[in-house]
Structure 1
């Protein structure tokens, strides 16, 4: 089998994978769009209350995580954007990496990259770009940024899910006034 035939088959396979994942990604995004809850409902401070028991807390947390799942995803993405936007070195590292990926993409349209007679696949070239960008990401503090975003997201989601009263739970509450 000719190596050029093998690389052509590999690129056809990667194109098919992209085409197969595209409808799935579109479906996932459409599903997320449909499940966005009102931000007024999400941040309504009148709906926050301490749970009455551990059982109440666990059921409330599960219901809120299911109900506000997309809103929590937006909080997570917002924290990522905040973290990147407030770190100039991180912006530079991302720009360098994306620039290298762009150059790889443009160069592969013109001609395939060969090193010592061996043709490098797209994945190998992108892997090399990532490996060469790793020191810059390390200096930019990308590792600590990732753990900061994960930690803050987990904390915010846990607090909101624990203290936000579900609509089902709100109907079950007894009125605060008693008849005299």
Structure 2
């Protein structure tokens, strides 16, 4: 069965949450674990929208918290599929906080997550390819293979010597 490719934009999810007292730490900031929970949900929704199947989280890349999100602020999470491999899907997320009283938005963080699509028996299944249209989507698409190779190396599933895309990236920097 051949799956029809889909555009990255077709997977776009925008999720909004209000930071309530139960979501915060003793400093009045949104707890990192709560934000990661919301990000996981948004990313899974983007993947399910892309492949029309249930998905499970396979990996979470580095999440750096640039700016804390305060109690009473609004969290905006944008999740969009950047690339689909055979059974796995990479999602890029951007997170903003918004002060609804002062009416300004600020960047909180961004991250990549990877999911695997499942068939009705809980086994990995094929997913549609992604068509990157905008310049940003093309840049994220092109970098996805390097990020995937790095994840596979870090998880022990790939030897560094087999990571051709990463080697080419570093060889180009050394030669340049």
Q: What TM bracket, shorter-length normalisation?
A: under 0.3
TM-score by length of 1: 0.21
Q: Greater share of strand residues, 1 or 2? A: 2
Q: Greater share of helix residues, 1 or 2? A: 1
Q: Which has the higher contact order (CA 8 A, sep 6+)?
A: 1
Determine which structure has more spread, i.e. the larger CA radius of gyration.
1
TM-score by length of 2: 0.21
